[in-house]
Amino acid sequence: MKLQSNVAPLAPGAAQDRQPAGARRDAFGRDASGPLAGIVIADFSRVLAGPYCTMLLADMGATVIKVESPSGDETRAWKPPVFEGQSTYYLSINRNKRSIALDFGDAGDIETARTIAASADVVIENFKPGGLDRFGLDYTSIVEHNPGVVYASITGFGSAGGAALPGYDLLVQAMSGLMSLTGDPEFPGYRSGVAVFDVITGLHAAVGVLSALHERSQSGRGQRVEVNLMSSALSGMVNQTAGFLLSGNVPTRMGNEHPSIYPYEPLPTADGEIVLAIGNDRQFRTLCEVVSAPELANDPRFATPPDRSVNRAVLRPILQDLLATRTATEWFDIFTEARLPCAPINDVRGGIDFARRLGLEPVVKVGTGEESIPGVRNPISFSATPASYDLVPPGIDADRGDILEWLHPAP
């Protein structure tokens, strides 16, 4: 796939002169069905948290102008894996955007960047705190020319004591405590298999931007939105952080076990493992009946969730012996019929195939014609204003001419 310009001839306009909501077009005149059609986002972010946020908003119809350095977003070089020579990492989070490369060492390019920001409804950036000040692209400078702007800043550790710390997901997984919770208790902690806090922070940023846009629709005022990976991590660890704050409990690694409920882990069968997630007494009684051991439900050692959790070392080998009589596939069918929470342990291919079997249609076609590529469906469904997947991820600076024409339309 050759990445190239996405845009048709542009209609002039800016954040203060948007199409009415009923027009269902983006700021460049392209048909847009999503609920954010007409909203312009100046995207000064790179790598994952910011681009993931702006891709979700672009799927919903927003016009996203991706401002890159001349060398491009770092993820363009993060290979393997690749799709037709392009980084699949970059392709996974940059559809439905338009690219312009600007050199912040060039006065003319800086002025173009300021004009883009002044013409946008939303500015999203993930520079180190204060990193954009000297270019006149900080919130204080932009709001002077664009008082209605929603300006979202994404950092690693906030703009106070952690301002100088580099904002990498792996560092936050270590510092927040997540790695102390992940992996086998007999071995050092592991990072998550995906940059989970980048993704959570991107979601938090999207929620913040949409909330600020809603408030602006009522008051006419823009505002600054700030999110950081560390705060998102502490919020995203939910019960584990609350368990410490409310009881003083410092959680530790438990492998695939849950600290509060049991059975809630993979268990071996005749030919592999199956995951059980038994969260209440009714489910446990059903499990006992299905595995032909109804007496377990009346055993005082297993009568309540706390009992089962405390006595898991006793209950586990009993369940393992019972599950050894059938295969994982057979148990999955039996448990599913009994409406018990269970799951096979799939690889990513298996996960996508399973979603297809459920009718979730997880894979969408991004772009049109020969330039189209497969992508993962936006997880949010709208009954009246569905997401769209019209534009493949852009090449570096692919849309410079059209963006400049939009900023400075011919008379």
Catalytic residue among 198, 390, 399, 402: 198
The answer to whether 302 and 311 are in contact (CB under 8 A) is yes
* Residue 198 known to be catalytic: yes
Interior CA angle at 271 toward 270 and 277, to 5°? Answer: 80
Among 175, 173, 113, smallest CA distance to 145 is for 113
Residue 95 has, within 13 A of its CA and on its CB side, a CA count of 26
Instruction: State how far the Cα of 180 lies from the Cα of 253, in Å rounded to an integer.
Output: 6
Among 87, 100, 89, 27, smallest CA distance to 57 is for 27
Residue for token pair 């006595």 = 311
* Strand 63-68, strand 97-101: pairing: parallel
Q: Is the Cα torsion angle 210, 25, 149, 55 positive or negative in sign? A: positive
Q: How many CB atoms lie within 10 A of CB 170?
A: 13
Catalytic residues: 198
